[in-house]
């Protein structure tokens, strides 16, 4: 068992899905140790960490006015988890979700509710904690009833609850939770409280309004970038043009020091910084600094060399002859190829991607008079940021308090990515200046240091029989994924699941299969990016499946239906998406303003299933997507409105990435500095998005990411149907499309 997962023995797959990301400067931390320290001194022999998600007082503050503060294990960043948690806890506690105020809890062992660890990621929050959080609400309600029974001198069984009040029907007496909370929390919780019968749910499965929309519509929502502490300095940075090089000389330090408002100039690992009395002054000053940087290695891909480029990296992945390790294998692949009537082969590639969340990252660090440290920072994993902060500050984790504000978008951006986060800079600067310091990265510095979705490559081969049916599929994936980068010690095989997901685990009954993974590390900081390996792999696989259909003279829908023979769940989804779009129709056909065609794709990301159809035309050599139909089966749900909004949001990121997005390296330097050189989807390219939730009743799957992976291949397949062009190198913008 790994220390990251105390007390849990999940399957390898669950486990790898669960970790979704937790990284440290250099090495993965013993989070369990960090936690134990964070709890302070042990309290006697029985001082074990509490079972996560059971201690009511760690989660709920019940106020006399009837409002409830819920300290959530998860951070809200647009996915609606704060509202979802209020629904789940409120359902069992018997308090309407609207009466909750939800905040992200500080580090602590109580909140390790994701298979024994804590993180907001992997589309894992709701499905991993659903039972735990229901039970927590039910336990709290039971405490209220027992406190009321003692107060009223009646039996528990004579009492009921309603909307945050305990009622004694016989005498008409009523005690609001707010009056009972102090007594209730002194009682020993019952271990086995009954949960509400789902038939009687009032909040779960309802489109409960989100708790944060009014604040977000009026500018009142507070993000990390909006926070301020007394006496703080503002700092701006200039990063080394090439990752891994260091400042060697500041040619005009005195001049810059004399600029208005400048407090001090600092050299940091891989960067220089100016602290000033306003951020704008700090930024102007740091950009005026003439910095000489140490030389990068001239060549190679083991570092970001002077000649490092996306092209040389891709060439290295393609050229590798290392057979790698088997990621999935079934049947007799060699035999099937030997007997094949036809063989289809294709190489697929995808670029590095930035998160480009709209809030640029910032952090505030403040050392307290007693030597402890407060850090305010965007993060998806408070305990890991606490441990890394402690390491940077030279303090024990227990002396670091982490504050986790709402995130202005994240998509995997806010894990610890070595040089990819500003908080170590804030801590170093606070130490150097003796003042609280807020570091904000300009959008340009963010594009320079954001950790990126890895550039990816897979080679596909299929064997077809005389009837055009695929009999074998062979896929060779070369590269590196974020789990392998940050968690290799936890992988039980050399196969990085985050590099091959979406190529393995597909639902199609191709009888002979062999998928391999060959690791070649990237010299750049790689990241988890919404839907991780699925973000490119399903695009590759589902595109290639259409190539196979074409080579075998089959319709892509009919072929998928045939290959899904054994799975009613997938067939239902495919039928549903066809029906949503008015019946499967590939085209090309005459549409409004020109010819259109449709493409189809399926994906199985994060425990959920999707089937997607895209409708596309070509205008001026560019793809125009008119409609996306998505049938989405997450098993079961908590809030249909939030689920639909998240599926649409993920679909837009999929659309944006496949149409436009790429971080290109040339001469060791990223070629994108801002949204003008890293175009993301704008309104003019926004299609209609139609989402239907299909609740199959399968175990609850993820929601935040699974809407994405089906979209890129559906679009690529539609383009192929329309123009005959099979795009195998992303994004689409790199290919001039022929008119239909």
Partner 1 sequence: MVSLTINGRQYAVDAEPDTPLLFVLRDTLGLTGTKYGCGIAQCGACTVHLDGQATRSCQVSLESVGDQVVTTIEAIEQDEIGRKVVEAWVALQVPQCGYCQSGQVMAATALLKQTPHPTDGDIAEAMTNLCRCGTYNAIAAAVRQAAA
Smallest gap from Cβ 714 to ligand FES, in A, equals 24
Bond before 249 cis per omega within 30 degrees: no
Minimum CB distance to ligand FES smaller for 358 or for 739: 358
Binder of partner 1 out of 150, 154, 221, 562 (CB under 8 A): 221
Minimum CB distance to partner 1 smaller for 133 or for 236: 236
Minimum CB distance to ligand FES smaller for 282 or for 463: 282
CA 502 from centre of chain: 16
Minimum CB distance to ligand FES smaller for 106 or for 209: 209
Question: Does the footprint of ligand FES cover residue 73 (CB under 6 A)?
Answer: no
Task: Dump strand ranges (E) for 620-684.
Answer: 622-633, 665-666, 669-670
Strand, helix or coil for residue 352? strand
Structure tokens at 219: 């500018």
Question: Does the footprint of partner 1 cover residue 218 (CB under 8 A)?
Answer: yes
Question: Does the footprint of partner 1 cover residue 220 (CB under 8 A)?
Answer: yes
Minimum CB distance to ligand FES smaller for 409 or for 497: 409
Binding track, positions 626-645, relative to partner 1; x by CB under 8 A: ---------------x---x
* CA distance between the termini of the chain: 56
Smallest gap from Cβ 703 to partner 1, in A, equals 12
Structure tokens at 391: 């390491």
Minimum CB distance to partner 1 smaller for 318 or for 688: 688
Smallest gap from Cβ 112 to partner 1, in A, equals 25
Cβ-contact 208, 80 below 8 angstroms? no
Question: Does the footprint of partner 1 cover residue 339 (CB under 8 A)?
Answer: no
Minimum CB distance to partner 1 smaller for 222 or for 334: 222
Minimum CB distance to ligand FES smaller for 78 or for 556: 78
Near partner 1 in 405-434, by CB under 8 A: 406-411
Which burial class, exposed, middle or buried, applies to 441 when counting CB atoms under 10 A from its CB (0-12, 13-18, 19+)? buried
Partners of 600 in beta bridges: 613
Task: Dump strand ranges (E) for 96-170.
Answer: 100-104, 159-162, 165-168
Minimum CB distance to partner 1 smaller for 413 or for 570: 413
Helix, strand and coil in the chain, % to nearest 5: 35, 25, 45
Binder of partner 1 out of 92, 179, 359, 609 (CB under 8 A): 359
Smallest gap from Cβ 224 to ligand FES, in A, equals 14
Binding track, positions 558-577, relative to ligand FES; x by CB under 6 A: --------------------
Chosen from partner 1, ligand FES, none, partner binding at 279 (C-beta under 5 to 8 Å by type): partner 1
Which burial class, exposed, middle or buried, applies to 251 when counting CB atoms under 10 A from its CB (0-12, 13-18, 19+)? exposed
Smallest gap from Cβ 692 to partner 1, in A, equals 16
Measure the CA–CA gap between 364 and 425, rounded to whole angstroms: 10
HSE-CB at 67 with a 13 A cutoff on CA atoms is 7
In three-state form (DSSP H/G/I as H, E/B as E, the rest C), the secondary structure along 537-564 is HHHHHHHHHHHHHHHCCCCHHHHHHHHC
Question: Does the footprint of ligand FES cover residue 78 (CB under 6 A)?
Answer: yes
Which residues does 634 contact at the CB level (< 8 Å), separation at least 6? 607, 608, 609, 643, 693, 695, 700, 701, 702, 703, 706
Binder of ligand FES out of 97, 409, 481, 482 (CB under 6 A): 409
Binding track, positions 227-266, relative to partner 1; x by CB under 8 A: -x-----x-------------------------x------
Task: Dump strand ranges (E) for 645-706.
Answer: 665-666, 669-670, 688-693
Question: Does the footprint of ligand FES cover residue 422 (CB under 6 A)?
Answer: no
Smallest gap from Cβ 409 to ligand FES, in A, equals 5
Cβ-contact 699, 641 below 8 angstroms? no
Near partner 1 in 653-672, by CB under 8 A: 653, 656
Binder of partner 1 out of 652, 694, 727, 737 (CB under 8 A): 652
Structure tokens at 524: 């750049």
Please give the helix or strand (H or E) that residue 81 lies within, else none. helix 81-93
Smallest gap from Cβ 483 to partner 1, in A, equals 24
Binder of partner 1 out of 172, 217, 230, 697 (CB under 8 A): 217
Question: Does the footprint of ligand FES cover residue 412 (CB under 6 A)?
Answer: no
CA distances to 62, 379, 434 from 74, rounded to whole Å, are 19, 10, 32
Question: Does the footprint of partner 1 cover residue 209 (CB under 8 A)?
Answer: yes
Smallest gap from Cβ 183 to partner 1, in A, equals 37
Near ligand FES in 461-520, by CB under 6 A: none
Strand bridging mode 233-239 / 271-276: antiparallel
Taking CB under 8 A as the binding criterion, the range among 94-102, 145-153, 272-280, 618-626 that sits at the site for partner 1 is 272-280
Cβ-contact 293, 281 below 8 angstroms? no
> If you count them, how many residues does the chain have?
740
Q: How many CB atoms lie within 10 A of CB 257?
A: 15
Question: Does the footprint of ligand FES cover residue 405 (CB under 6 A)?
Answer: no
Cβ-contact 110, 139 below 8 angstroms? no
Dihedral (C-alpha) 288, 294, 295, 296: value to the nearest 10 degrees?
-100
Binder of partner 1 out of 674, 699, 724, 734 (CB under 8 A): 674
CA distances to 7, 540, 550, 600 from 545, rounded to whole Å, are 42, 9, 9, 10
Minimum CB distance to ligand FES smaller for 79 or for 139: 79
Chosen from partner 1, ligand FES, none, partner binding at 281 (C-beta under 5 to 8 Å by type): partner 1
Minimum CB distance to ligand FES smaller for 84 or for 409: 409
Minimum CB distance to partner 1 smaller for 279 or for 584: 279
Measure the CA–CA gap between 707 and 603, rounded to whole angstroms: 9
Binder of partner 1 out of 37, 61, 226, 465 (CB under 8 A): 226
Minimum CB distance to ligand FES smaller for 291 or for 645: 645
Near ligand FES in 220-239, by CB under 6 A: none
Q: Looking at beta carbons, which residue is closest to ligand FES?
A: 358
Taking CB under 8 A as the binding criterion, the range among 90-98, 274-282, 288-296, 379-387 that sits at the site for partner 1 is 274-282
Binder of ligand FES out of 334, 343, 358, 466 (CB under 6 A): 358
Strand bridging mode 247-250 / 262-268: unpaired
Measure the CA–CA gap between 552 and 661, rounded to whole angstroms: 32
Work out the angle at residue 332's Cα, subtended by the Cα atoms of residues 605 and 563, and round it to the nearest 5 degrees.
Answer: 45
Measure the CA–CA gap between 600 and 556, rounded to whole angstroms: 7
Question: Does the footprint of partner 1 cover residue 214 (CB under 8 A)?
Answer: yes
Q: Which residues bind partner 1 (CB under 8 A)?
A: 77-80, 209-210, 212-223, 225-226, 228, 234, 260, 278-281, 356-360, 406-411, 440, 442-443, 641, 645-646, 648-653, 656, 674-676, 680-684, 686, 688-689
Q: Which residues bind ligand FES (CB under 6 A)?
A: 78, 358, 409
């Amino acid at each position: 068992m790994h220390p990251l997962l105390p007390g849990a023995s999940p399957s390898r797959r669950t486990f790898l899905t669960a970790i979704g990301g937790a990284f440290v400067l250099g090495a993965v931390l013993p989070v369990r140790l960090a936690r134990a320290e964070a709890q302070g001194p042990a309290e006697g022999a029985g001082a074990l960490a509490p079972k996560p998600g059971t201690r009511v007082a760690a989660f709920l503050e019940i106020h006399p006015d009837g409002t409830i503060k819920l300290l959530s294990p998860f951070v809200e960043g647009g996915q609606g988890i704060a509202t979802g948690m209020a629904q789940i806890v409120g359902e069992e506690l018997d308090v309407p979700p609207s009466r909750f105020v939800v905040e992200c809890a500080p580090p602590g062992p109580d909140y390790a509710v994701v298979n024994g660890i804590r993180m907001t990621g992997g589309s894992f929050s709701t499905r991993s904690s659903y039972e735990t959080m229901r039970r927590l609400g039910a336990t709290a309600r039971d405490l209220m009833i027992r406190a009321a029974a003692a107060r009223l001198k009646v039996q528990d069984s004579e009492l009921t609850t309603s909307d945050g009040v305990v009622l004694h029907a016989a005498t008409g007496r009523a005690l609001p939770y707010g009056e009972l909370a102090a007594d209730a929390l002194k009682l020993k919780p019952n271990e086995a409280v009954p949960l509400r019968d789902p038939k009687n749910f009032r909040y779960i499965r309802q489109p409960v309004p989100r708790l944060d929309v009014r604040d977000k519509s009026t500018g009142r929502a507070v993000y990390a970038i909006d926070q301020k502490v007394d006496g703080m300095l503002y700092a701006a940075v200039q990063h080394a043009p090439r990752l891994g090089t260091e400042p060697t000389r500041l040619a005009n330090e005195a001049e810059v020091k004399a600029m208005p408002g400048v407090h001090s100039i600092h050299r940091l690992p891989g960067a220089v910084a100016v602290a000033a009395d306003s951020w704008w002054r700090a930024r102007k000053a740091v950009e005026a600094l003439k910095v000489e940087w140490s030389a990068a290695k001239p060549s190679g891909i083991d570092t970001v060399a002077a000649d490092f480029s996306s092209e040389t990296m891709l060439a290295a992945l393609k050229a590798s002859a290392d057979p790698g390790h088997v990621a999935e294998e079934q049947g007799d692949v060699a035999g099937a190829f030997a007997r094949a009537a036809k063989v289809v082969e294709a190489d697929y590639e995808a670029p590095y991607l930035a998160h480009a969340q709209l809030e640029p990252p910032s952090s505030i660090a403040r050392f307290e008079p007693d030597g402890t440290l407060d850090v305010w920072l965007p993060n998806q994993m408070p305990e890991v940021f606490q441990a890394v902060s402690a390491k940077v500050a030279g303090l024990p984790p227990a002396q670091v308090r982490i504050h986790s504000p709402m995130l202005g978008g994240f998509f995997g951006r806010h894990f610890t990515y070595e040089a990819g986060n500003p908080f170590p800079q804030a801590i170093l600067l606070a130490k150097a200046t003796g003042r609280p310091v807020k570091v904000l990265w300009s959008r340009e510095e963010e594009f320079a240091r954001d950790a990126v979705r890895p550039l990816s490559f897979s080679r596909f081969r299929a064997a077809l029989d005389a009837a055009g049916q695929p009999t074998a599929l062979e896929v060779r994936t070369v590269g590196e994924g974020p789990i392998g980068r940050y968690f290799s010690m936890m992988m039980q095989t050399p196969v990085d699941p985050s590099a091959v997901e979406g190529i393995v685990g597909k639902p199609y009954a191709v009888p002979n299969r062999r998928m391999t993974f060959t690791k070649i590390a990237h010299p750049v900081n790689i990241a988890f990016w919404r839907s991780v390996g699925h973000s490119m792999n399903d695009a590759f696989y589902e595109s290639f499946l259409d190539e196979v259909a074409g080579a075998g003279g089959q319709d892509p829908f009919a072929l998928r239906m045939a290959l899904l023979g054994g799975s009613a769940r997938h067939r239902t989804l495919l039928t549903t998406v066809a029906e949503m779009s008015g019946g499967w129709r590939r085209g090309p056909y005459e549409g409004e303003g020109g010819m259109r065609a449709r493409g189809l794709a399926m994906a199985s990301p994060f425990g959920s299933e999707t089937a997607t159809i895209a409708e596309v035309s070509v205008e001026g050599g560019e793809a125009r997507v008119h409609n996306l139909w998505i049938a989405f089966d997450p098993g079961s749900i908590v809030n249909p409105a939030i689920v639909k909004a998240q599926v649409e949001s993920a679909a837009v990121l999929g659309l944006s990435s496949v149409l436009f997005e790429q971080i290109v390296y040339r001469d060791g330097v990223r070629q994108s500095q801002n949204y003008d050189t890293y175009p993301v989807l704008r309104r003019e390219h926004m299609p209609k998005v139609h989402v239907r939730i299909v609740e199959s009743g399968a175990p609850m799957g993820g929601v935040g990411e699974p809407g994405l992976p089906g979209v890129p291949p559906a679009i690529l397949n539609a383009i192929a149907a329309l123009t005959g062009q099979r795009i195998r190198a992303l994004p689409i913008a790199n290919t001039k499309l022929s008119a239909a």
